[in-house]
Amino acid sequence: MKWNKFTLKTRSEVEDIVISTLADVGIEGVEIQDKQPLTESDKQQMFVDIMPDIPDDDGIAYLNFYLDVDEDKEKVLADVRAALAEMQEFLDLGECTITESETEDKDWINNWKQYFHQFYVDDILIVPSWEEVKAEDKDKMILHIDPGTAFGTGMHETTQLVIRQLKKYVTPDTEMLDVGTGSGILGIVALKLGAKHVLGTDLDPCAVPAVAENKEANQIVDETFDLSLIHI
């Protein structure tokens, strides 16, 4: 399925009110592209080791919206332009031009999965839910972990380093505190290696469903892995 993509060039300072106006004329979903600096709140929600380099803010915003090819785009664009013209009487919208292009419909929710495959950390196999375990690997220690909003897939070097240390030091009497548990991967590895109990802590609410899902996927008994969400 194909879509008509429209890009409205405006000022980043007015993007919120422009989006609200677009909603008033029936444009329900808008994609924002700008160079506004990340706020501290934005940064706290990002689980990356190195913050991305963002160019200096040039004050320009590109607002993308999409229409089905069967929609009456001329009528919709006429309504959009009329609403914008009315706004321009009291507000500087910048260039306020609209360009059109065509885009293919894609399964964005699942498309990224083609880049994440099962892999080994030494003799531990980490498998996403959409891949089958190969027959020759069924006797290995297997972790079922999906990439998600909480940090921890096993691909990062620091995670792999800790997994190797857990293999050395975990015993049946081990009680582990997993600070910043994220997806719960390290706690789950420890329990699969025979640890007695894990207490995971995290600041991010996304860790709660992530840990619950990964515990279930790996048949981890609830009583052996507790999670404490810290509020600061």
Model confidence over 43-53: pLDDT tens digits? 666 555 555 66
Reported as a pLDDT band with limits 50, 70 and 90, residue 90 is: very high
pLDDT at 48: 52
Q: Is residue 119 part of a domain?
A: no
Q: What is the pLDDT of residue 28?
A: 79
Pick the last residue of a domain from 80, 104, 128. Answer: 104
Give me the pLDDT at residue 109, please. Answer: 52
Neighbours of 6 (CB within 10 A): 21
- C-alpha distances in angstroms, 184 versus 61, 144, 163, 164, 226? 38, 11, 12, 16, 10
Question: d(Cα 148, Cα 217) in Å, to the nearest integer?
Answer: 14
Percent of the chain with pLDDT strictly greater than 90 = 56
- SS3 per residue for the chain: CEEEEEEEEEEHHHHHHHHHHHHHCCCCCCEEEECCCCCHHHHHCCCCCCCCCCCCCCCEEEEEEEEECCCCHHHHHHHHHHHHHHHHCCCCCCCCEEEEEEEECCCHHHHHHHHCCCEEECCEEEECCCCCCCHHHCCCEEEECCCCCCCCCCCCHHHHHHHHHHHHHCCCCCEEEEECCCCCHHHHHHHHCCCCEEEEEECCCCHHHHHHHHHHHCCCCHHHEEEEECCC
Tell me the sheet residues that pair with 141.
124
Those residues with Cβ within 8 angstroms of residue 78's Cβ, 6 or more apart along the chain or in another chain? none
Q: What is the rounded distance in angstroms from the CA atom of residue 87 to the CA atom of residue 94?
A: 11
More confident residue, 7 or 115: 7
Q: State pTM to two decimals.
A: 0.57
Question: Residue 73 and residue 155: Cα distance in Å, rounded?
Answer: 45
Question: Counting Cβ atoms within 10 Å, is residue 70 exposed (0-12), middle (13-18) or buried (19+)?
Answer: exposed
Please check the confidence at residue 150 and state whether its pLDDT lies above 70. no
82 & 162 share domain: no
Q: What is the pLDDT of residue 45?
A: 62
- 132 occurs within a structural domain: no
In a domain, 144, yes or no: no
Q: What is the pLDDT of residues 156-213, one digit of tens each?
A: 888 999 999 999 999 999 999 999 999 999 999 999 999 999 999 999 888 899 999 9
100/155 same-domain check: no
Number of domains into which the chain is organized: 2
Q: Mean of the per-residue pLDDT values for the chain? A: 87
**What's the pLDDT band for 67 if we cut at 50, 70, 90?**
confident
Is the domain of 9 the same as that of 77? Answer: yes
Output the domain CATH number for residue 32. 3.30.70.120
Q: If pLDDT is split at 50, 70 and 90, which confidence band does 63 have?
A: very high
Does residue 218 form part of some domain? yes
Domain termination residue (choose one: 104, 119, 134): 104
Whether the predicted pLDDT of 113 surpasses 90: no
Residue 33 within any structural domain of the chain: yes
pLDDT computed for residue 102 by the predictor: 77
What's the CATH number where 177 sits? 3.40.50.150
Q: Which domain holds residue 48?
A: 2-104
Q: How far apart are CA 147 and CA 144, in angstroms?
A: 10
